[in-house]
Structure formats: C-alpha cells, structure tokens
C-alpha cells in the first residue's frame, strides 16, 4: 500500500507565508461567488458546548469548481483571555478530493481572524454608502483590529474610526497600533453610543453579552451594520429595521436561531452575500438604505485561503511532513 503523509503548518509557518489581506480578500470573494452559484457543499456547522458561553464548531466544506475541500475544527472560549490564550483557536484540515486523504493540517486562528475581516470588506465593497467617512467599532479585540485594517483597505475614504471596548486599553492599543499606519484618525470612546452614532459603517465584534449593545436610534440613515456575534450585539428592533438584511448562508443563520440567535425573530432575508458577489442581486442601491450584514462564517472561506497557504508552503519548503500511514 502507498504511504500517506500530510504537511503540518504551525501558526508561525502560516504567518511566515505572508499572504496579504488583499490576496486573501480575492480568495474569499472567489469562494463566496462559488456559494452564490450554488457549487458548494457547506452544511450548517454543528457544535459542542462544554463550558458556559463557549463553543467548538465542526466546519466542513467542498467547492466543486476548484475541487477543494476539508474541515475546520475551531473553538471560541471568551474566558481564555484570563488564561493568556486566544478566544478563537483550532485547526484546518485539507483533503485530497480524489482519495479523501488528508494532505495538510494547519493552525486556523490567524486564517479565521483575517478571512472574517475579508468578508466584512467584501460586504462593504458592494454595500457601503458612497459617503462613507466614519467607521464605528464596538469591541477592539482580534476582529475589531483586523476589520479596521480590511475595511480601510477596501474603503480608502474612511477618515475616522471611533472605537469603544469595555476594556479601554484594547481600544487604546488599536489607536497606538494603527492610527499612523492606516492614516485614519482613531478616537477612543468611553461609551458605545458615542462610537455608534454618526457612522456610515458600524461593527460590533464583542463576546457573548448579557444584553445587546446597539439601539435602533443610534444607527444613522444609510449605515452599513455588521454584527459578528450572531445578532447578540444588537437589539432586535434595530436588526428588524434593516432595509436589507444580508447573511452568508441562510440555512446556517436559521440553524443558529434555533440555538438562541435572533431572539426577537429573524428579519426577512434580502440576499446571501454570494448572491450579491455573483451578480444575482444588487448590493446597495441608495445611500439612504440601512443594511444589516450578519454573516456567521463559512468553511469555504477557510478552505480557499488554506489551500493557497498549503500551495505556497509546498513551493517554499515551509512546514513539517508527518506520516499518517
């Protein structure tokens, strides 16, 4: 019998490959287009929940067009910060789609962080208002930081980011790290309402919350709203007031409602993001529309990016080959 080996890539290996946010955004957009063209198998993610407010999700996906597939096994433990560990950790396994053999296992922490921000940037490409100048960020952790970078790269007209975090030093660190680099004025706010009001893009990227944060009357006309905590950051009437509600996968969104998301009811779906990316539906049609985008995250995004990293690693001789059989 032939031997079976796979490539192992640590987070350092993944980072050393230096894939740019621009390249990653293109890969994620290509994957979302495949989703829009209904050429993917990407079932809603099941999870296990051993600790309060935690999850470990299984996320398989197969993209028929590029013939790529695999699975991400990713945990979210908000209390990890006290243990000096990241909230999000896990591995991505890529398989040979002709034999099913695993060909690569890699850290998925960085991929998850950046591909999620790439999804926001792609949404903004199609749905941000033409007068976008100010971005509000509530939650200045990993996602808050990566979303700031990805959104500014996609919408260069962003001049100011107003940032609030319940832990003020997290917001101050964003200012220190990115104000000069991105040439964006960063205002650290003491109150989420101040960060939210008078913005054309408003993003919440917090953890599980005892109650929502964003109230309907804080949202400006024409705002593009992102909630990364599966609706929990936003009061129900704020979500239901959307002129257009977008998610990445409606079946997955409905499955999340069954385990507690959208407690005040699901809004009417305007489009899945892939429908907009592949041109089946328009994104923003007027600067007055309030658009709410709550994408829950699709494994196909991880597979697209992971496969690129795997190819680059083989070319550069990075990683460790391990024998399975």
Ligand X SMILES: NC(=O)c1ccc[n+]([C@@H]2O[C@H](COP(=O)([O-])OP(=O)(O)OC[C@H]3O[C@@H](n4cnc5c(N)ncnc54)[C@H](O)[C@@H]3O)[C@@H](O)[C@H]2O)c1
116 binds ligand X (CB under 6 A): yes
CB 9 within 8 A of CB 92: no
109 binds ligand X (CB under 6 A): no
Q: In angstroms, give the least distance from the CB of 313 to ligand X.
A: 23
Judged by CB under 6 A, the residue of 31, 76, 222, 267 near ligand X is: 76
28 binds ligand X (CB under 6 A): no
Stretch that binds ligand X, among 4-12, 56-64, 282-290, 291-299 (CB under 6 A): 291-299
Name the strand (E) or helix (H) holding 306.
Answer: helix 299-316
Nearer to ligand X, 86 or 283 (CB): 86
Nearer to ligand X, 89 or 313 (CB): 89
Structure tokens at 207: 């953890």
Nearer to ligand X, 134 or 206 (CB): 206
253 binds ligand X (CB under 6 A): no
87 binds ligand X (CB under 6 A): yes
Name the strand (E) or helix (H) holding 251.
Answer: helix 250-257
207 binds ligand X (CB under 6 A): yes
166 binds ligand X (CB under 6 A): yes
Judged by CB under 6 A, the residue of 141, 212, 222, 306 near ligand X is: 141
124 binds ligand X (CB under 6 A): no
Per DSSP, the residues of 121-178 read HHHHHHHS-TT--EEEEE--SHHHHHHHHHHHHH-TT--EEEEE-SSHHHHHHHHHHH
The secondary structure of residue 82, as a DSSP letter, is G
Beta strands in the chain (DSSP E): 5-9, 40-41, 47-48, 55-63, 68-76, 88-95, 102-107, 134-138, 160-164, 185-188, 201-204, 224-227, 244-247, 271-272, 291-293, 320-323
Helix (H, G, I), strand (E, B) or coil at 185: strand
Q: Draw the binding track, 88-107, toward ligand X (x: CB under 6 A; -: no contact).
A: x-------------------
139 binds ligand X (CB under 6 A): yes
Report the C-alpha gap between 302 and 287 in whole angstroms.
Answer: 32
Nearer to ligand X, 7 or 171 (CB): 171
Tell me which residues touch ligand X (CB under 6 A). 76, 78, 87-88, 112, 116, 138-144, 164-167, 170, 205-207, 209, 213, 228-229, 295-297
């Amino acid at each position: 019998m032939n031997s079976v080996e796979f490539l192992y890539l640590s987070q350092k290996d993944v980072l050393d490959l230096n894939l740019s946010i621009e390249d990653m955004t293109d890969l994620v957009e290509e994957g979302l287009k495949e989703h829009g063209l209904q050429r993917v198998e990407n079932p809603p993610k099941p999870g296990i929940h051993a600790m309060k407010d935690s999850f470990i999700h299984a996320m398989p996906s197969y993209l028929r067009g590029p013939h790529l597939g695999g699975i991400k096994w990713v945990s979210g433990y908000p209390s990890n910060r006290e243990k000096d560990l990241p909230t999000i950790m896990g591995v991505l396994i890529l398989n040979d789609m002709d034999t099913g053999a695993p060909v690569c296992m890699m850290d998925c922490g960085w991929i998850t962080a950046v591909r999620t921000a790439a999804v926001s940037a792609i949404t903004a490409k199609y749905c941000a208002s033409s007068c976008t100048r100010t971005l509000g960020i509530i939650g200045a952790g990993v996602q808050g930081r990566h979303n700031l970078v990805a959104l500014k790269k996609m919408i260069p007209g962003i001049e100011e980011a107003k940032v609030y975090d319940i832990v003020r030093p997290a917001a101050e660190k964003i200012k220190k790290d990115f104000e000069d680099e991105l040439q964006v004025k960063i205002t650290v706010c003491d109150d989420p309402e101040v960060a939210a009001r008078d913005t054309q893009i408003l993003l919440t990227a917090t953890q599980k919350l005892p109650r929502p944060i964003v109230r309907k009357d804080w949202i400006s006309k024409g705002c593009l709203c992102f909630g990364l905590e599966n609706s929990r950051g936003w009061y129900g009437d704020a979500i239901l007031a959307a002129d257009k509600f977008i998610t990445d996968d409606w079946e997955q969104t409905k499955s999340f409602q069954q385990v507690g998301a959208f407690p005040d009811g699901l809004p009417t779906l305007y489009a899945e993001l892939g429908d907009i990316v592949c041109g089946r539906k328009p994104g923003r049609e007027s600067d007055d529309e309030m658009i709410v985008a709550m994408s829950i995250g699709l494994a196909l995004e991880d597979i697209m990016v992971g496969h690129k990293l795997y190819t680059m690693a083989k070319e550069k001789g990075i990683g460790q080959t391990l024998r399975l059989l």
